[in-house]
Amino acid sequence: MQLHTLKPVRGAKHRRKRLGCGEGSGHGKTSGRGGKGQTARSGSSIRHGFEGGQTPLYRRLPKRGFNNTRFKRRVAVVNLSDLNDFADGEDVGVEALQKRGLVNGRFDAIKILGDGELKRKLKIHVHLFSASARTKIEAAGGSAIELRMNS
């Protein structure tokens, strides 16, 4: 087998549908657009779910229950092992974590998780700590200070 002998598998390539090339082509006259009306016109598009003015299905069905997505708290997480990048005795706050790229995007709180080992003595100011993270921070000689949540 050589590069110039390669070709696609049989049935993998399809010919382009040539519209408006006479009745004999099978795609003449209305060119696959059906009869007259809005959808037959060029530039026409009807929004998804539109039923010609009839109340659409998504509005006919009853809505029940409560959805918490508007009120949920977005928590950014940082593992302890990621904090070893900071210098010994440094104050680590929200701005410092953002500057290092450890947290980004929109969040309401930052939580430190106890994954990995902490080799530095740090003073950490964030909103939440897991129990294992708090014990590992204090074992390394640092301090875990909780900030007030914005609610």
Nearest to 101 by CA among 88, 115, 82: 82
By C-alpha distance, which of 98, 150, 90, 100 is closest to 124? 90
What is the CATH number assigned to the segment(s) 75-146? 3.100.10.10
SS3 of 60, please?
helix
Tokens of 98: 């953002």
Query: 């003015």: which residue's tokens?
Result: 53
End-to-end CA distance of the chain: 67
Q: What confidence tens digit (pLDDT) does each residue in 13-57 have?
A: 998 999 999 999 889 999 999 999 888 999 888 899 999 899 999
> Whole-angstrom Cα distance, residue 94 to residue 97?
5
Domain boundaries defined on the chain? 18-62, 75-146
| Tens digit of each residue's pLDDT (9 = 90 or more) over 58-110 | 999 998 988 888 888 999 999 999 999 999 999 999 999 999 999 999 999 99
Six token digits for residue 140: 């390394």
User: pLDDT at position 1, please?
Assistant: 85
Q: Which pair of structure tokens corresponds to residue 94?
A: 């929200």
Looking at the DSSP assignment, which residues form a beta bridge with residue 144? 124
